[in-house]
Amino acid sequence: MKMTYYPGCSLQGTARDYNDTIVEICEAIGVRLSEIEDWNCCGASSAHMTNHEVAMQLSIRNLLLAAKNGSDILIPCSACYQRLKAADKALRENPEYWDVTDYNPEFKLVHISSFLAEPEILALISEKVIQPVGKMKVACYYGCLSLRPPHITEAASHEMPTTLENIVTAIGAAPVSWSHRTECCSGSLTMTRPDIATTLVAEIVEAARRGGATAMVTDCPMCQANVESRQETALERAMPVYYATELIAAALTGAYPEKQQKVHLVSASALQTHMEQAAQNAGAKLETSAQEEESV
């Protein structure tokens, strides 16, 4: 399968590990990614919050470049996804207003989690799992922009999404039921009003703990950075926030490398611990079943 790829700026900077694991997974399941040539920043929140014309034109340039490839566009960043979807929708409705002629490409814009949670893709992933991640209790955290507003994102269920839960279940984790899955972490205010971000993040992390989670799993690069960086607890006791793709890549390779753990801003060894335990338990089970067979 071939897909056009729009990584976006975060995945070249603060979320480089997100990008690495996406590329790794796509290679493993036979999805060929071809990056939009010379793509530009989508403008993210800053552009649409202050300048509608610039926000639209930045995304339109990317869409017109992507139209050369034709195949569906895979977009991992929630903000990029929402911005490109908004521009795509506006162009399809009224291309003339934006001085674009004949905008009717066959491609769809696909958010990473909707893609990975498709039954065929999940089946491909499950087939290749070397080591399940071992019943780790995770709080799946969606944040805002891949879901809202639903008339733009076309999210299947914007208040009760299940894509992340379906993904982590397929690789052996145990998603918990909790209250703040789609609450905003105020990522767009994290630099300008860290006090607000700290308060909102504390509420979200507390809710995840209340749900019984030892880690959070997300698909949004802003949420990942904001929730890890704005916790005021000691780094060893803070809640790690993994990308769903980190869990998948670990399950596909059988290990969660130290190098990758170190990219996290808080201690992120929970995944490795769970995988090692799961491997031991599986070994022990094999032994018992072997003994049982002998005794029979």
Contact residues: another protein, CB under 8 A = 9-10, 12-16, 38-41, 43-54, 56-58, 61, 97, 144-145, 148-150, 158, 183-184, 186-189, 191-194, 196, 200, 225, 229, 262-265
Nearer to another protein, 264 or 274 (CB): 264
Nearer to another protein, 48 or 173 (CB): 48
Nearer to another protein, 191 or 234 (CB): 191
Nearer to another protein, 131 or 231 (CB): 231
In sequence order, what DSSP letters do the residues of 218-245 get, joined into one string? ES-HHHHHHHHHT--S-TTTSPPEEEHH
Q: Which residues have CB under 8 Å from 226's CB, separation 6+?
A: 185, 186, 187, 190, 197, 201
Nearer to another protein, 162 or 194 (CB): 194
Residue 92 tokens, joined = 């399809």
Paired with 175 in beta bridges are 138
Nearer to another protein, 44 or 138 (CB): 44
Q: How far is the CB of 6 from another protein (least distance, A)?
A: 12
| CA-closest candidate to residue 35, choices 80, 86, 78, 79 | 80
Whole-Å CA distances, 96 to 89, 90, 281: 13, 10, 62
Q: How far is the CB of 174 from another protein (least distance, A)?
A: 27
Q: How far is the CB of 194 from another protein (least distance, A)?
A: 7
| CA-closest candidate to residue 242, choices 227, 232, 258 | 227
- Using DSSP's 3-state secondary structure scheme, residue 87 falls into helix
Q: How far is the CB of 104 from another protein (least distance, A)?
A: 21
Q: How far is the CB of 57 from another protein (least distance, A)?
A: 4
Distance CA 79, CA 241 (A): 18
Q: How far is the CB of 13 from another protein (least distance, A)?
A: 5
Nearer to another protein, 255 or 263 (CB): 263
User: Do 127 and 265 contact (CB within 8 A), yes or no?
Assistant: no
Give the count of beta carbons closer than 10 Å to the beta carbon of residue 226. Answer: 27
Nearer to another protein, 65 or 174 (CB): 65
Residue 157 tokens, joined = 């269920």
Distance CA 251, CA 247 (A): 6
Q: How far is the CB of 122 from another protein (least distance, A)?
A: 27
- Using DSSP's 3-state secondary structure scheme, residue 14 falls into coil
Q: How far is the CB of 294 from another protein (least distance, A)?
A: 50
Distance CA 255, CA 248 (A): 10
Distance CA 46, CA 188 (A): 8
Distance CA 241, CA 197 (A): 16
